[in-house]
Amino acid sequence: MSRLLLIGLFLCCCAAACQKVTTDAELAQIQLGKDTVIIKNYLVANNLLSSAARDKTTGEYYIIDTLGTGGALFTSSTLITVGYTGKVLGSSTYFAQTNSFHPSFALGGVIQGWQIGIPHIKKGGVIRLFVPSGYAYGPYAQPQLGLQANAILDFTIKLYDITN
């Protein structure tokens, strides 16, 4: 009887070990797929898809309003001076805006969506970024900003200055 119990226990353990384990990277890819569909539907519903471009490596959508001028190269240590507004996609309420204050950040110190999008413009340029949650704050809510986990963000950014 104890031998049968041990065999049964062994088989249960083997069956449990064979179940598919979803890694954080797999969960992030699943969420990116969901976010991409939501963003694309938003762009279509608001007649923005034809003016939107998509980053070739990440798939982040953006619209360049003004390209700007200059030829600065961007690195993670590039200091960017910006003015911006940020809201959750589809919302009319801003969770962040700079108004007349133009903060400076190291490009490597901002959310990944900005690191991907801002290099598409030059000094004086204006870009609208549609940031999938994984390139913003991911599954981590930001209560100080009023953002839920997996929030898709919509930023309009003016690049005032670039310093390398």
Per-residue model confidence as pLDDT tens digits over 88-110: 999 999 999 999 999 999 999 99
Structure confidence at residue 33 (pLDDT) = 95
pLDDT of residue 22: 83
* Integer CA distances (angstroms), 36 to 5, 28, 85, 96, in order: 49, 12, 21, 23
pLDDT at 19: 55
- For the chain, how many residues are written? 164
Please, are residues 78 and 164 in contact by the beta-carbon 8 Å criterion? yes
Are 128 and 66 spatial neighbours (Cβ–Cβ below 8 Å)? no
Could you please report the per-residue DSSP string of 54-103?
E-TTT--EEEEEE--B--PPP-TT-EEEEEEEEEETT-SSEEEE-TT---
Q: How many Cβ atoms are within 10 Å of 106's Cβ, its own excluded?
A: 13
Domain ranges of the chain: 28-163
Q: In the chain, what is the straight-line distance between the N-terminal and C-terminal CA atoms, in Å? A: 75
- Show Cβ contacts of residue 162 under 8 Å, excluding neighbours closer than 6 positions: 70, 72, 74, 78, 79, 80, 81, 122, 123
In this prediction, residue 4 carries a pLDDT of 46
pLDDT (tens place) for every residue of the chain, 164 residues total? 445 444 444 444 454 455 566 898 999 999 999 999 999 999 999 999 999 999 998 989 999 999 999 988 999 999 999 999 999 999 999 999 999 999 999 999 999 999 999 999 999 999 999 999 999 999 999 999 999 999 999 999 999 999 99
Query: Is the four-CA dihedral 50, 54, 59, 63 of positive or negative sign?
Result: negative
Architecture of domain 28-163: Roll (3.10)
